Structure 1
Amino acid sequence: MLFLVLIYHHDAKMAAATAAEHEALGRDYGAFNKFLAESGALRGTATWPAGVATIRSQDGEALVTEGPYSEAKDKVAGFFLIEVEDMDAAIGFAKRVPGAQYGGVEIRPVQV
């Protein structure tokens, strides 16, 4: 089964993190990304803000802006797409996301 795993970061928590905590998070993501690549389950990934565009409707026209558009405190920081046997396996992957301490991780089954 395919699962989309969305990683959320809370603006205030990220802003409150020290430089050392940001460096540690970067190292932890390096190790996590290596784990994903070596797992054989990874099917795709993306991180913010590389290549993000948002489309909204305004006065019947499509308005395209660069970057994410969200008024929420938690913002999507990235995602990965995995193919594993079931939700329990997907949860196992999601529990390893380093950024969960700065927001949350959401798992969605993908229908194809």
Structure 2
Amino acid sequence: MRYLMLIYGNEEIWNSLGPEELARLIDEVDGFNAALRESGELIDSEGLVARPRSVRPVPGDVVVTDGPYIEAKEYVGSYFVVEVDDERRALEIARSYPGLRHGVGGLEVWPLMERGWASAET
């Protein structure tokens, strides 16, 4: 099963890290990613640039606005996707994410739909 891990933070949190701590965190995350790649569990991992755009329907149109639709203190700054046997392993990976030890936000774990899921339910 594949899981999407959304990594949250904000500018205040990231700017609170000194240069040495930030460098150490980056090294730890690189090692974390390398270990998951080596195990075959890491499918994808990317940081996100700037704030997103929100695209929402309104009566008779679709509008694009700056930033997340909902005001939030934290936002998604990066993500990774793993493929593992079960949720237990996905949560184990999530708990071991190095940024959590450095207090740089939180992480959400989302199971991804598998192809054919909708037809299997009907």
**TM-score in terms of structure 2 length:** 0.75
Max Rg structure = 2
Conserved 8 A contact 1:11-1:73: no
Tell me if 1:105 matches 2:107: yes
Structure-1-length-normalised TM-score: 0.81
Q: Give the structure 2 partner of residue 54 of structure 1.
A: 53
Task: Summarize the alignment of residues 36-75 of structure 1 with structure 2, pairs less than 5 Å apart.
Answer: 36-49=36-49, 54-57=53-56, 60-63=61-64, 69-70=67-68, 71-75=71-75
Is the CA contact 2:37–2:43 (under 8 Å) kept in the aligned structure 1? Answer: no
Structure 1 stretches of 4+ moved >4 Å: none
What secondary structure, in the 3-state scheme, does the structure 2 residue paired with 1:108 have? strand
Q: Which residue of 2 aligns with 1:22?
A: 22
**Secondary structure, counterpart of 1:102 in structure 2:** coil
Percent identity between matched residues is: 29
- Compare the two structures and name the one with the higher strand fraction: 1
Q: In structure 2, list runs of 5 or more residues that go unmatched.
A: 115-122
